[in-house]
Amino acid sequence: MNIDQLHAYRQEIQHHLNNELLPFWEKRIVDHENGGLLTHFDKNGNDSREDEKSLIAQTRSIYTFASAHRAGYGDGRYAEIAKHGVEFLLGKMWDAENGGFYWLMDRKGNVKIDEKIIYGHSFAIYSLSEYTLATGDPRGLEYAGKVFDLLQKYAADTYYGGYFEMFDRNWELKGPGSAGGDRKTLDAHMHLMEAFTTLYEASGKQVHRRKLVEVIGLLVNKIMHPTYKTGIPQFWADWSVAPQIKFDIIWGWDRFTEDGVKSAAEDNTSYGHNVEFAWLLMHALDIAGIPYSEYEEQLLASFNHAVDYGVDWEFGGVFVEGSHAGEVYDREKEFWQQAEVIIGFLDAYRIYEDEKYIKAYDATHRFVFDHVIHKEVGEWLPLLTRQGEPIWTHMSHSWKINYHTVRSMIQALVRLDKILAK
């Protein structure tokens, strides 16, 4: 790889992050009237006025600004934005009676959905741990630890391992089917790995490291395909593969059929998830003090499947998903997959020094900077055709938020600097 090209990538990312992406959010996100963070913006970046504040969007945004502050951005302003979000999260969204966070509030902080969803709680642990690491405020780690303890008490499956994911307000497990009480998912367990990594980094507690190593083992040995080592989306409680369905509460923006069942429901894998899992696993191993070599087969399989089948070598970017064996099912381009493979392909190149990874990175980088970034506004378009024409045009809602985009740019710069330092 040409060193000048690496510097060019770095310059392009730095400009976008400092002059477009972070300013987009800094100008808009603070709700000065009701507290908390505003997270719904139309294609022009205007507040689209949805009367909701979701656990997922509040926690992801807290993470975004805490992590940006810890990475050296914002001159202290981003720490204040993160604190503003934490005040609302702890003051309005915490269930003082039963413990845990409500799933959905209105803008003023009244409860709209009081259920306890583990996916959201994984981001509570992640963001609050990051907040303490970034600011030193002990409340973040205190509440991250409380959520961790609640998960071990109510959500952990002590028979088959892993965690159940959908609960009523009082932590009673929800029913089967679309209620989700009889399912386990790649998504939640991958984000629990992410959360436990940052929790252990913040706390140094052995129990947090033990549970991190445990969930890594589940992901590698139960959730990844036994032959292809690609991610399987949904399982029954005993870790047998379940057809992928749409849940009542979350993943409402995924593209399912009208009956709520995905096409090829028992044979689909996400290229973005596979690469995101791989780089998050590498980070978890760094924090836990475990060498990459112990998981090299899995890491290489995750990266190589995406390079071989997920990268669109004609138009750039990475496809949404396909079969474990390689056939591509969905050739559209979604923002978050692009964001995650940007980090992951740089990690793969940094460690394994194979030119195919930097070529895959280049194909994705160019697609993002030429098509995905809405330059006039500053954020990324959510969904595009294979060729790069916009399909969805909103800038943000509860499921399309700053977490993937800002993290991608910050972490890409970290990895480019490490590669250049070699």
Could you tell me which residue, 168 or 1, shows the higher pLDDT? 168
Any domain includes 391: yes
Any domain includes 39: no
Residue 242 shares a structural domain with residue 308: no
Residue 3 shares a structural domain with residue 109: no
Any domain includes 107: yes
**pLDDT score of 266 more than 80:** no
Residue 204 shares a structural domain with residue 252: yes
Tokens encoding 386: 């294979």
| Secondary structure class of 422 (helix, strand, coil) | coil
**pLDDT score of 257 more than 90:** no
What mean pLDDT, rounded, does the chain reach? 95
**pLDDT score of 387 more than 70:** yes
| Secondary structure class of 32 (helix, strand, coil) | coil
**pLDDT score of 164 more than 50:** yes
Q: How far is CA 187 from the centre of its chain?
A: 9
What mean pLDDT is predicted for residues 220-243? 96
**pLDDT score of 119 more than 90:** yes
Contact 128, 86 (CB under 8 A): yes
**pLDDT score of 141 more than 90:** yes
Residue 194 shares a structural domain with residue 285: no
Q: How confident is the model at residue 255 (pLDDT cuts 50, 70, 90)?
A: low
- Of 4-18, 142-156, 232-246, 341-355, the poorest mean pLDDT is in 232-246
**pLDDT score of 265 more than 70:** no
Residue 8 shares a structural domain with residue 127: no
**pLDDT score of 247 more than 80:** yes
Any domain includes 401: yes
* Residue-level pLDDT at 244: 85
Residue 245 shares a structural domain with residue 124: yes
Per-residue CA distances from 269 to 230, 256, 274 (Å):
7, 14, 8
Q: What is the pLDDT of residues 296-317, one digit of tens each?
A: 999 999 999 999 999 999 999 9
What mean pLDDT is predicted for residues 227-240? 96
Any domain includes 338: yes
Residue 122 shares a structural domain with residue 167: yes
Q: How confident is the model at residue 1 (pLDDT cuts 50, 70, 90)?
A: confident
- Which residue shows structure tokens 């413990």? 99
> Closest Cα partner for 341 from 297, 305, 376, 377?
305
Q: How confident is the model at residue 390 (pLDDT cuts 50, 70, 90)?
A: very high
Per-residue CA distances from 176 to 3, 180, 247, 253, 265 (Å):
54, 6, 10, 21, 17
Any domain includes 42: no
Any domain includes 140: yes
Any domain includes 279: yes
What mean pLDDT is predicted for residues 75-98? 98
Residue 241 shares a structural domain with residue 163: yes
Could you tell me which residue, 265 or 2, shows the higher pLDDT? 2
Q: How confident is the model at residue 349 (pLDDT cuts 50, 70, 90)?
A: very high
**pLDDT score of 328 more than 50:** yes
* Residue-level pLDDT at 271: 97
Query: How many domains does the chain fold into?
Result: 2
Containing 234, the helix (H) or strand (E) segment is strand 234-236
Residue 66 shares a structural domain with residue 180: yes
Contact 340, 283 (CB under 8 A): no
* Residue-level pLDDT at 24: 98
Contact 180, 248 (CB under 8 A): yes
The model carries a pTM of: 0.96
* Residue-level pLDDT at 177: 93
> Closest Cα partner for 337 from 368, 296, 301?
368
* Residue-level pLDDT at 267: 87
**pLDDT score of 278 more than 70:** yes
Q: How confident is the model at residue 149 (pLDDT cuts 50, 70, 90)?
A: very high
Domain of 174: which CATH number? Answer: 1.50.10.10
Tell me which residue range forms the domain holding 315: 1-30+274-421
- Of 158-172, 233-247, 306-320, 400-414, the poorest mean pLDDT is in 233-247
Q: How confident is the model at residue 212 (pLDDT cuts 50, 70, 90)?
A: very high
Separation of alpha carbons 89 and 54, rounded Å: 10
Q: How confident is the model at residue 157 (pLDDT cuts 50, 70, 90)?
A: very high
* Residue-level pLDDT at 127: 98
Residue 169 shares a structural domain with residue 259: yes
What mean pLDDT is predicted for residues 353-378? 98
Residue 216 shares a structural domain with residue 314: no
Residue 101 shares a structural domain with residue 20: no
